[in-house]
Every structure is written in structure tokens, then in C-alpha cells.
């Protein structure tokens, strides 16, 4: 059996090649920017973006890679491509950056990756949903564990918003009565929820729950609502298949808040 050092060496080599391919791709994007500039072609090409996302999802499926993960990667790459195309015309030089951080980072900094989703408490759930879908262009997403009254999930690209209304239950109604509509919590994607919770416990962070695991393998825990910022933080890692957010975990948080008040 191949040992861990050998496998890590293979990963290091693959990552090095991956960075080289990224650099090559971005060089081509700089050439694309020059062509667009010379032909008065708009930088953003929506049809091309949709074509890239769809084709890369299919390539991922054909290669046994989760297409949602592939889409997430390519959306980040497309954002960097757009930045490079626009930044190329700036007169100032790009800032110098180092490989290692300038100062010691926290344990959370090691495992936090991105904002996974945002939960919004909405006194008027229908109006809130209409704002996102009818006015902003988000689309409805079904919860991973099935539709639940009072919970609406909307998404656009890589952005997911969970809307929760009083119809979801007494705990949500009590929250809305006390705090009103607004962002209830921001969920941060972490490499490992157990590690993240232990790290925050070590620095006496105000935590509300232990790590909770739902049927889809989402591991989550939450901080206590901080009055200085008016919201809570959630931390989530995925240990099962890559599926969307379930309503049960969201509502369990409101129950925990209700019990702690």
C-alpha cells in the first residue's frame, strides 16, 4: 500500500501542475482582453458564462467529479478572469504579495473557506421571496430534506439565501417578535466543524450549540447572537454527498435560540 508521504507528494505535484495550468489560462485571458479592447467587445459575455458553466459541469460529471463543486471552482475562476480583463487597463502596478501570512493566523483562519449561506428572518415571507426572485433574479431551490412551511431557499450563481418566516413555527415567530426582520445568521463553510468548534472553545468564543449533524451529512454549530453585530455565526462542513441546505437544521437553530432566551 502506498504510504501517506508518497500520496501527499503526488498531491503536491498535481497542485503544482494545477497552478501552472491556471497561470496559462489567465495568460490566455489577458490576450482575450486585448482582443475585446480592440474590437469594442463588452468584457462580460453572459451567454459565454452560461456556456462555460454548463459545459464544465458536464465535463465534471463525465470525470466523476461533483458538478456543483466544479461550478463553484469555475465561478471563482470566471470572477478572477473578469478582474484581470478589467484590471489590465489600470495604470498602477499590482501589489506585491507573499506566500506566507505576515502575522500568525488563528486556527479558524486555517479552516474557514467561504460564506456558505445566509439565513434571513422575514416577517413577510412572501414579500421577501418576491424581492429575491421577482426583483433580483434569484431562483427557488428546494430544501434537501423537503419543503417545509415558512422556509424558502433562493439562489443565484454561487449565492444561497435561506428565508424563514413565522409560519415555520413558534420559535421563529418569537425571534421575529423580538428582533424583527433581518439577517439571522451567516454560515461559514469550514474544512471540519469539530476542529473549528474546538478552536473557538479554546478562545472562549460564545457558542450556542454543539456540532449537529443532519441526515445529509451537514455538520453545523452556532455562536450565541452577538448584540454588537446583531446576528449569529454558523459554521458548516459537509461529510456526506454535496446537497443543498435542509430546513431542519435551520429551524433547529431557532429552537435552540428560543430555549436559551
Q: Bridge partners of 114?
A: 189
Per-residue pLDDT of 140-197, as tens digits, reads: 999 988 999 999 999 999 999 999 999 999 999 999 999 999 999 999 999 999 999 9
pTM (2 d.p.): 0.91
Q: Bridge partners of 188?
A: 115, 235
Q: Bridge partners of 223?
A: 207
CATH topology (fold) of 8-87:
Chorismate Mutase Domain, subunit A (1.20.59)
Cα-flanking dihedrals φ and ψ of residue 155, to 5°?
A: -145, 155
204 SS3 class: coil
Which sequence spans correspond to the domains of the chain? 8-87, 107-260
Per-residue pLDDT of 199-243, as tens digits, reads: 999 999 999 999 988 888 889 999 999 999 998 999 999 888 888
Q: How far apart are CA 176 and CA 180, in angstroms?
A: 4
Looking at domain 107-260, its CATH architecture is Roll (3.10)
Per-residue pLDDT of 1-47, as tens digits, reads: 889 999 999 999 999 999 999 999 999 999 998 998 889 888 889 99
Amino acid at each position: 500500500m502506498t504510504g501517506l508521504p508518497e500520496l501527499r507528494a503526488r498531491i503536491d505535484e498535481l497542485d503544482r501542475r494545477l497552478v501552472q495550468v491556471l497561470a496559462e489560462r489567465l495568460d490566455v485571458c489577458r490576450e482575450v482582453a486585448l482582443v475585446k479592447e480592440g474590437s469594442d467587445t463588452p468584457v462580460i459575455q453572459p451567454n459565454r458564462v452560461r456556456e462555460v458553466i454548463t459545459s464544465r459541469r458536464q465535463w465534471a460529471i463525465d470525470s466523476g467529479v461533483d458538478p456543483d463543486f466544479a461550478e463553484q471552482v469555475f465561478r471563482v475562476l470566471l470572477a478572477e478572469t473578469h478582474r484581470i480583463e478589467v484590471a489590465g487597463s489600470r495604470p498602477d502596478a499590482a501589489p506585491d504579495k507573499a506566500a506566507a501570512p505576515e502575522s500568525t493566523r488563528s486556527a479558524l483562519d486555517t479552516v474557514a473557506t467561504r460564506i456558505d449561506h445566509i439565513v434571513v428572518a422575514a416577517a413577510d415571507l412572501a414579500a421577501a421571496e418576491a424581492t429575491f426572485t421577482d426583483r433580483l433574479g434569484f431562483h427557488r431551490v428546494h430544501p434537501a430534506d423537503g419543503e417545509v412551511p415558512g422556509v424558502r431557499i433562493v439562489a443565484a450563481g454561487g449565492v444561497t439565501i435561506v428565508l424563514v418566516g413565522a409560519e415555520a413555527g413558534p420559535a421563529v415567530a418569537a425571534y421575529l417578535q423580538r428582533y424583527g426582520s433581518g439577517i439571522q445568521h451567516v454560515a461559514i463553510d469550514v474544512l471540519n466543524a469539530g476542529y473549528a468548534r474546538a478552536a473557538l472553545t479554546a478562545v472562549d468564543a460564545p457558542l450556542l450549540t454543539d456540532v449537529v449533524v443532519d441526515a445529509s451529512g451537514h455538520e453545523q454549530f452556532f455562536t450565541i447572537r452577538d448584540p454588537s453585530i446583531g446576528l449569529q455565526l454558523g459554521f458548516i462542513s459537509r461529510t456526506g454527498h454535496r446537497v443543498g441546505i435542509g430546513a431542519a437544521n435551520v429551524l433547529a437553530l431557532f429552537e435552540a435560540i428560543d430555549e436559551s432566551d
